């Protein structure tokens, strides 16, 4: 199994009078696997009926909704944890602080160690495209992780993540 990534040559200049073309890498998403297919596969792997799995997932969802919205970080067994976060503007004075400064509410997902380790072991195939959309190369291999901080390796261009000490670890949605 390998993760497919595309490197597309794009103009990254913020100045409309200048051009600065660079290769920007993005994951290639294959397709969305439906809830029904996930439940069917889990049923086949576990021997638990789809109805029981669906009821269990519904109960976990209810618990997540209740606890995350109360400000808890909630562990999901063998999967990871989820927590509530926000993006907001900053102000100089306490008198200016208010809910109107919040620009978005979001959920941060931190995968389990097993999922992180599996991702580290998964190879990556990169397909390169020029600025006209023409395929110009392929690169295959692993993404070496020289550090143990859970990040995405020393060859990573830029990591960002909502204030986590390990920026490459979280999915923010």
Q: What is the pLDDT along the chain (173 residues), one digit of tens a residue?
A: 788 999 999 999 999 899 999 999 999 887 889 999 999 999 999 999 999 999 999 999 999 999 999 999 999 999 999 999 999 999 999 999 999 999 999 999 999 999 999 999 999 999 999 999 999 999 988 755 544 444 433 333 333 333 333 434 454 55
Between the alpha carbon of residue 131 and those of residues 6, 10, 24, 106, 128, the distances in Å are 12, 6, 11, 33, 10
Tokens of 103: 């620009």
Supply the pLDDT for residue 143.
57
Helical H segments across 47-151, by residue range:
50-68, 113-121
Q: Per-domain residue ranges for the chain? A: 2-30+73-92+99-172
């Amino acid at each position: 199994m390998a993760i497919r990534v595309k490197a597309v040559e794009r103009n990254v200049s913020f100045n409309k009078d200048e051009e600065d073309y660079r290769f920007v890498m993005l994951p290639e998403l294959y397709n969305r696997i439906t809830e029904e297919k996930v439940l069917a596969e889990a049923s086949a792997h576990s021997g638990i009926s789809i109805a029981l799995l669906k009821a269990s997932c519904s109960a976990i969802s209810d618990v997540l909704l209740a606890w995350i919205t109360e400000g808890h970080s909630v562990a999901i067994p063998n999967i990871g944890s989820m927590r509530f976060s926000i993006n907001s503007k900053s102000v100089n004075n306490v008198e200016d602080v208010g809910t109107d400064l919040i620009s978005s509410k979001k959920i941060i997902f931190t995968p389990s160690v097993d999922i992180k380790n599996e991702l580290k072991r998964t190879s990556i195939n990169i397909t390169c495209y020029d600025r006209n959309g023409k395929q110009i190369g392929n690169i295959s291999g692993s993404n070496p992780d020289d550090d143990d901080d859970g990040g995405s390796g020393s060859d990573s261009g830029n990591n960002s993540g909502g204030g986590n000490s390990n920026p490459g670890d979280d999915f923010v949605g």
